[in-house]
């Protein structure tokens, strides 16, 4: 009975979770570095994302809906599938959004800052990327039980999003593949390096700098990991804008 109460409480918290953006808070870090043109990243984004590359910024537009099956499409939808064993389905259904992010074309390492609740980035399939927190910036906890088999779920307005490794993308594109970009313009990669090794020397934001397939001259980038902060613990560059 106590476990059941905990799950119900977690779902009640989810009704107000994953929203209410918080203004990033600057924290001390190393000196800024020169920016790196990251426009080559956007060739890997799918047709669900409209990409507009400008002189200094890149604008990404999507309706935010996933290109894969989920119980959150609702019975009767062609992409609906039954919940996997152990899943606790939250009361929300996937709904189209107007997701617009404007990010630096040449992101530069700067003073790190907190990521907000709500979208902190966008995946290559157009799905929003959220941080490691539930409502009130509390640990995800019971909310993880509501994730579908690809590690996503919708919040109260129907905005589907990933807090953890997007298994649909890493399964189909590879564990070292480009996952997306955060609002600071830096890319997010899967849980492996291109040689199959586990990323090492990740900083508090969950990233490090070296050459990638898309930016062979080298760029700071995040990696998804199995432990918190899962995708990113902070912005390592200066974030752009939402909407």
Please tell me the total number of residues recorded for the chain in this structure. 243
Q: What is the pTM of this model?
A: 0.89
pLDDT tens, 73-105? 999 999 999 999 999 999 999 999 999 999 999
pLDDT of residue 34: 67
Range of the domain at 171: 2-242
Strands 219-223 and 99-104: unpaired
pLDDT confidence bin for 33, thresholds 50/70/90: low
Enter the tokens of residue 17. 């979770």
Number of domains in the chain: 1
User: Has residue 72 got a pLDDT over 50?
Assistant: yes
CB-based contact 136:36 (threshold 8 Å): no
DSSP notation for the chain: -HHHHHHHHHHHHHTT-S-S-----B---SPP------GGGGGGS-TTSEEEE-SSEEEEEE----SS-BGGG-TTSTTB-PPPTT----S-------EEEEEESS--EEEEEPPPSS-SEEETTS-EE--SB-GGG-B-GGGGGG--TTSEEE-TT--EEESS--HHHHHHH-TTSEEEEETTS-EEE-SS-TTSPPP-S--TTSEEEE--SS-TT-EEEEE--SSTTTT-SSEEE---EE-
**pLDDT value, residue 170:** 98
Confidence of residue 29 (pLDDT cuts 50, 70, 90): very low
pLDDT at position 118 is: 96
Mean pLDDT, to the nearest integer, of 187-194? 98
pLDDT (average), residues 117-143: 95
The average pLDDT across 160-166 equals 98
Tens of pLDDT, residue by residue over 213-227, are: 999 999 999 999 999
Confidence band (pLDDT; 50, 70, 90) for 22?
Answer: very low
Give percent of the chain with pLDDT exceeding 70. Answer: 86
At 136 the pLDDT is 86
Give dist(CA 151, CA 172) in Å, integer: 14
């Amino acid at each position: 009975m106590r476990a059941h109460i905990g799950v119900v409480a977690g779902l009640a918290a989810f009704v107000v979770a994953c929203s209410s953006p918080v203004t990033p808070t600057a924290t001390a870090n190393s000196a800024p570095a020169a920016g790196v043109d990251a426009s080559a990243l956007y060739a890997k984004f799918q047709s669900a994302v409209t990409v507009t590359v400008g002189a200094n910024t890149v604008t990404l537009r999507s309706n935010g809906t996933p290109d894969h099956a989920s119980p959150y499409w609702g019975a009767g939808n062609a992409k609906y599938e039954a919940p996997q064993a152990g899943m606790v389905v939250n009361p929300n259904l996937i709904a189209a959004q107007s997701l617009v992010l404007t990010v630096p074309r040449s992101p530069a390492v700067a003073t790190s800052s907190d990521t907000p609740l709500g979208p902190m980035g966008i995946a290559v399939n157009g799905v929003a990327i959220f941080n490691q927190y539930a409502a009130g910036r509390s640990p995800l906890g019971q909310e993880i039980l509501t994730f579908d088999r690809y590690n996503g779920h919708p919040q109260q307005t129907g905005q589907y999003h990933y807090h953890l490794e997007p298994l649909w993308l890493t399964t189909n594109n590879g564990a070292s593949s480009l996952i997306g970009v955060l609002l600071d313009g830096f890319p997010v990669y899967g849980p492996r390096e291109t040689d199959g090794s586990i990323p090492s020397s990740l900083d508090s934001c969950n990233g490090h700098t070296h050459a990638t397939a898309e930016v062979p001259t080298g760029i700071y980038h995040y990696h998804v990991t199995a432990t918190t902060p899962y995708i990113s613990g902070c912005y390592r560059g200066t974030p752009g804008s939402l909407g």
